[in-house]
Structure formats: C-alpha cells, structure tokens
Structure 1
Amino acid sequence: MRDPNFTGYAPNRVPGVTAEEVIEVFSRHVPCDGGGTLGHPLIWMRLEGEEITCPYCSRTFHLAPGAGDDGHH
C-alpha cells in the first residue's frame, strides 16, 4: 500500500487506507509475515514510537502500555 508519510521503512497508519487491524505487542522488535499461507516474507520491524505499520500487509502493531524496555539489546 503506498503512503506518502513513510517513517523509516514502514508507513504510518492512514485512516481509510490502512487496515483497521491493530495488534498489541510487548516488544519493540516485531515480526510480521502477513499471517497464514498467503502472507508475505517474514520481516522484522523496530518500533521507535508507540506503533508501526507493516509495509507489506498494512497491519499496525501497537506497543502495550509499560512494555518495550528492550532497547538494551
């Protein structure tokens, strides 16, 4: 999905364009394969803020409150 507001390598969520699915995660390193056999290649994304959107499938991953203190690795 094309998005003019790229943040690093993944787009920001765009209302009306990006999928409504938001997945809560507990780490700043997030894997995404699109889910299922018709997904996409496995990629790893790094959350710099509170959320990131997969550039392949537009799933949005949101960091859970109090989570994500794994920056020491």
Structure 2
Amino acid sequence: MKVIQAILDDEATEAEKDHFRENMDKCIPCIEAYRLEKCIKDSLSSKVQKKPCPQNILNTIISKING
C-alpha cells in the first residue's frame, strides 16, 4: 500500500514504479487497491475546492507550533 500511495502521490522512485508495473498483473489485490485509491484521489481532486487558509487561523497555528 505504501508503494501504491507513493505512486499516486508521484513520490515513488522509478525503481518502485517499474517493480509495481512488472508485478501488478500478478497481484489482483494490488490492482484493486490501486484502482480504488486512484478513484478516491481523483474524486477528491475534482470535488474538493482549494482555498487559502485565513491569515488569523494561520497565525494561531504558527503561534501554537512555536509554543
């Protein structure tokens, strides 16, 4: 699952991508997991509206992090 997530997030190495592609056809659970995760990611990307965080909330978060 970590490799599938890395591939979908475009964070996988070329070696990980190659290994996944080579073995994907041999592993039904891998194929299903990849399709499900991709579907969820695509759905969220098209449905979620990205908005900037209001400055007052950002300031509160930063002040809590900095202690």
> TM-score, normalization: structure 1?
0.20
Q: Which has the higher contact order (CA 8 A, sep 6+)?
A: 1
Structure with max Cα Rg: 2
| Structure having the larger proportion of residues in helix | 2
What TM-score results when the alignment is normalised by the length of structure 2?
A: 0.20
| Structure with greater proportional strand content | 1
